[in-house]
Structure 1
Amino acid sequence: MSPIAITGILAIDHVGIAVPDLAAAITFYQGAFNAQVLHQEENQEQGVVEAMLAIGSEVGSNSGTLIQLLAPLTPDSAIARFLDKSGAGMQQLAFRVEDVRQAAAQARALHIRTLYEEPKRGTHGWLVNFLHPKDCGGVLIELIEEQ
């Protein structure tokens, strides 16, 4: 029997925003929204440099509203291609899940394509996979499992 929905979704984790210049974007979000940078890293495998920002009353903790800023490391990265095609803006909506492999398998059973056969390492080294935007109303959905 096929699942009726993807189970084990814990919360919306963050909204990912593609930007051409990470430093300029951080400055903007800090000035306009009093955002605090919680974490910055380069992900060579995905070809991005990223920053996780907290906004709102829970600033300084991972339980508040999080925005992930993503800038390309290389001109052939997925983020660079996104920026070339769509310009800066919302790139993905991320859900924290109990088990990324299970959630991806349930998505496939619902005829929702995943971008990877097996999860990859994302921010903090957590496991991630993505659901194809053409199967999700035009939105790239990221599934994240904390490690």
Structure 2
Amino acid sequence: MLGRIYHLGYAVEDIDAAARFYAENFGAQPSEKEVVEEQGIVATMFRVGESQIELVQPTRPDSPVGKFLAKHGEGFHHVAFQVDDLEAALSDLKGNGVQLIDESPRIGAGGSRMAFVHPKGAFGVLTELVELPEG
């Protein structure tokens, strides 16, 4: 079911400062920032080998990332795996009794389709499944 690790998500208070840190210290070239209103975040990504790092900053304190920052502070937030068929992956997981946050896909950054597996269903790790748009 799982393809490559698509990205690792880091929750940050200041996306500009975090992007600047990675650019200045690691030579990373972050993408343009993108607001994902449905999730209450601003996101940017930069490539690391075959995968990416996603920096996410909340746009409001009551968003999932805003609540995460209030409880845990900045740092690792989630792992995202690329899948070819998101509906099939979610159906298989649900059929196996895995606890999901999203039982159907949502639109994420870059027009991808995505869904989250609850950390309780994945040994404490918030797990995102991502189906990339064709082309």
TM-score by length of 1: 0.86
Q: Are the aligned partners of 1:97 and 1:144 in contact in 2 as well (CA < 8 Å)?
A: yes
Sequence identity (%): 37
TM-score by length of 2: 0.93
Alignment of 1:56-75 (within 5 A): 58=49, 64-75=50-61
* Count of residues in correspondence between the two structures: 133
In the TM superposition, residue 65 of structure 1 has moved relative to its aligned partner by 3.2
What is the match of residue 46 of structure 1?
39
CA shift digits 1:60-92 (9 cap, x unpaired): xxxx33100000001111000000011101100
In the TM superposition, residue 29 of structure 1 has moved relative to its aligned partner by 0.9
The 2-side partners of 1:117 and 1:13 are apart by 20
The 2-side partners of 1:112 and 1:39 are apart by 34
Instruction: Specify which structure has the higher proportion of helix.
Output: 2
What is the match of residue 5 of structure 2?
12
Among residues 82, 87, 96, which one is paired with 1:96 in the alignment? 82
Task: Give the residue type in structure 1 aligned to 2:36.
Answer: N
Structure 1: stretches of 5+ with no match in the other structure: 1-6, 59-63
Q: Which runs of 4+ in 1 moved over 2 A?
A: none
Whether 2:105 is the aligned partner of 1:119: answer: yes
Whether 2:132 is the aligned partner of 1:146: answer: yes
Cα RMSD, aligned residues only: 1.1
The 1-side partners of 2:129 and 2:31 are apart by 20
The 1-side partners of 2:129 and 2:14 are apart by 25
CA shift digits 1:37-81 (9 cap, x unpaired): 1342000010000001123xx5xxxxx331000000011110000
SS in structure 2 at match of 1:103: helix
Q: Are the aligned partners of 1:38 and 1:54 in contact in 2 as well (CA < 8 Å)?
A: no
